[in-house]
Amino acid sequence: MAAATSMKVAVAVACAVVVLATACQGLELGYYKYSCPRVEAIVRDEVKKFIYKDAGVGAGLIRLVFHDCFVQGCDGSVLLDPTPANPNPEKLSPPNFPSLRGFEVIDAAKDAVEKVCPGVVSCADIVAFAARDAAYFLSRFRVKINVPGGRLDGRRSVDSDALASLPPPSFNVNQLISAFASKGLDAEDMVILSGAHTIGRSHCSSFVSDRLAVPSDINGGFANFLRSRCPANPTSANDPTVNQDIVTPNALDNQYYKNIIAHKVLFASDTTLLTSPTTAKIVAENANIPGWWEDKFAKAFVKMAAIEVKTGYQGEIRRKCRVVN
């Protein structure tokens, strides 16, 4: 009884730091302890299979939870496929298509969970668990996140919502702070979560126009490297990808912040973190203090994964993650 009480107090404290009034409602560590006790182990096994074949899938899973939570909350809406009634869901929005990946991992995890606990575990929770596990494996087991469960799946998924809610790579620091504040996250959370840019790849079209085609603070040698990989005018037919972090491309670590200081980052939204004394200080701390970023990332992840959680009649538990019931 004492242990259970301590767990509920811990979750309450964690949720108390989230600004949004609706966040964390219904979320609880060990949420499936009795209804589906093996769910988190099942999801982790599926994630491990995919990541050990392709580390890029893990980067995709971490990006997937961010793109889910920032649009209508953490409700699995980014997973929904187009239908005749809804031909333009979130996953087809320009910020998501064709770059967002990891959907096949969520499908595999959901199928495995349904075989053991049919109709119990939401797709939204699987997205959060899978991203948590991807961070664990890609950080070489350094990033350990206690992710509560209890999210419900949403029924709305519209491409324009993603365009309106996801901060583009051209944003400056004030725009980024404002975008994250609208989701109950502060400036430090923004800088910490941006550290996920230490893994994954980006299409050239996401940065060529405002980083290579015009004067910028980008390192000259790095700029020349990117020009050797990217066309001057990327098109849908010719839009290669490059690693976001060329030093440790498959490791979730603090190298991103070292790259910012060295002016070897892709996006304007990366380098802009140096233009504010507050965010520049956080960048320097993450770059120079061992283990600092990993601990901060775990805490910021929990806050992000509690954005606008749906409860009660607001959502459902989908049988298949790509379609509403």
What tokens does 284 get? 């320097």
State residue 316 phi and psi, 5-degree precision.
Answer: -150, 180
Residue 248 annotated as lining a ligand binding site: yes
Composition of the chain by helix, strand, coil, percent to 5: 50, 5, 45
Beta bridge partners of 235: 238
State residue 207 phi and psi, 5-degree precision.
Answer: -140, -15
Residue 217 annotated as lining a ligand binding site: no
Residue 125 annotated as lining a ligand binding site: no
Contacts of 14-18 spanning 24+ positions with Cβ under 8 A:
14/148, 14/302, 15/306, 17/303, 18/184, 18/303, 18/306, 18/307
Residue 71 annotated as lining a ligand binding site: yes
d(CA 16, CA 21) in angstroms, rounded, equals 9
Let me know how many helices (H) and strands (E) the chain has, helices first. 13, 2
State residue 201 phi and psi, 5-degree precision.
Answer: -125, 160
Residue 272 annotated as lining a ligand binding site: no
Mutual orientation of helices 103-116 and 123-138 as an angle, nearest 10°? 120
Chain-centre distance for alpha carbon 131: 7
Which entry of 27, 39, 60, 67 is annotated as an active-site residue? 67
Residue 197 annotated as lining a ligand binding site: yes
**Annotation marks residue 67 as catalytic:** yes
Residue 324 annotated as lining a ligand binding site: no
d(CA 192, CA 260) in angstroms, rounded, equals 13
In the numeric block, the tokens 């009034």 are attached to 21
Residue 75 annotated as lining a ligand binding site: yes
Residue 295 annotated as lining a ligand binding site: no
Residue 198 annotated as lining a ligand binding site: yes
Beta bridge partners of 316: 153
In Å, how far are 19, 203, 323 from 98, measured between CA atoms? 33, 10, 19
CB 148 within 8 A of CB 31: yes
What tokens does 246 get? 């060329």
Annotated binding site for substrate: 167
Q: What residues are annotated to the active site?
A: 67
Annotated binding site: 68, 71, 73, 75, 77, 90, 167, 197-198, 245, 248, 253
Annotated binding site for heme b: 197
